[in-house]
Amino acid sequence: MKNLKYIVALTLAVALVIFALTSRADDQKVEKPKPYPLDTCLVCGMKLGDMGKPCVFVYKGQEIKVCNESEKKDFDKDPDKYMKKLAAAEAKMKK
């Protein structure tokens, strides 16, 4: 009988934790990142996909695509440089 009470209490506690976590996740709105507008790698300029599946990540709400993980490391060293490059490329596309 003591084991049954323990199992019921444990089950209720787990259910309460799960409920708390899921309701908290609903409160936090996840915004979609701005789509990457280019078909080339932001770091090296090569056409994406020519060397396999690109590395995709989000930086400050902007989706970024590079050829591979080593180029992501290059991006991480100086992200402002590449974000300026992206902004220039977007401006050129709008003209």
- Please provide the DSSP assignment of 23-73 as one string: HHHHHSPPPPPBPP--SB-TTT-PBTTTTSSPEEEEETTEEEEESSHHHHH
Mode of pairing for the β-strands spanning 55-59 and 62-66? antiparallel
Q: State the CATH number of the domain containing residue 75.
A: 2.30.170
Give the pLDDT score at 95: 77
Residue 3 has pLDDT above 80, yes or no: no
Judge if pTM exceeds 0.85: no
Contacts of 65 (CB under 8 A, 6+ apart): 36, 38, 41, 42, 48, 54, 55, 56
* Token pair listed for 34: 């701005």
- 26 and 41 housed in the same domain: no
Residue 93 has pLDDT above 90, yes or no: no
Q: How many domains does the chain have?
A: 2
Domain of residue 69 covers: 31-95
Note the pLDDT tens digit of each residue in 45-74: 999 988 889 999 999 999 999 999 999 999
| Paired strand residues for 63 | 58
- 62 and 25 housed in the same domain: no
Backbone torsion region of residue 76, taken as left when φ is above 0, otherwise alpha when ψ lies between -120 and 50, otherwise beta: alpha
Kindly state the average pLDDT of the residues 1-10: 70
- 65 and 19 housed in the same domain: no
- 11 and 51 housed in the same domain: no
